[in-house]
Amino acid sequence: MNSSTITAAPDETDRARQLIEIGLAMDPEARSETVARLIAASLHEGSGTTLEHFASTGALDAQAAIDELNHLEVPFEREGWVDALGRYVLAERSRS
């Protein structure tokens, strides 16, 4: 008899939302790479996207990220996250 157990990772959605809200309250200009990566991880539309790559590696293709952000459809309460991530990306692009 072959029995296997699949262990799923705990759902950290609420924790991520709390950390993003706290991070943006402490840093409204969204200068923190950690907060930016957490936002990207929460908003990306799947594996292989620019935001997913930035969230997982920290490597940022600023123009591709801006293009992706411009096409995201998010609930109203998440629009501030898109704006904050956009500010971070634009600031990073200007530093490059």
The pLDDT mean for the chain works out to 87
Is pLDDT at 33 greater than 90 in this prediction? yes
3-state secondary structure 42-83: HHCCCCCCHHHHHHHHCCCCHHHHHHHHHHCCCCHHHHHHHH
Residue 8, pLDDT score? 56
pLDDT-based confidence at 11, cuts 50/70/90? low
Is pLDDT at 43 greater than 60 in this prediction? yes
Which residue in the block uniquely carries the two structure tokens 């930035």? 54
Give this prediction's pTM.
Answer: 0.83
pLDDT-based confidence at 9, cuts 50/70/90? low
Q: What is the C-alpha to C-alpha distance for residues 34 and 3, in angstroms, rounded to an integer?
A: 40
Amino acid at 52: E
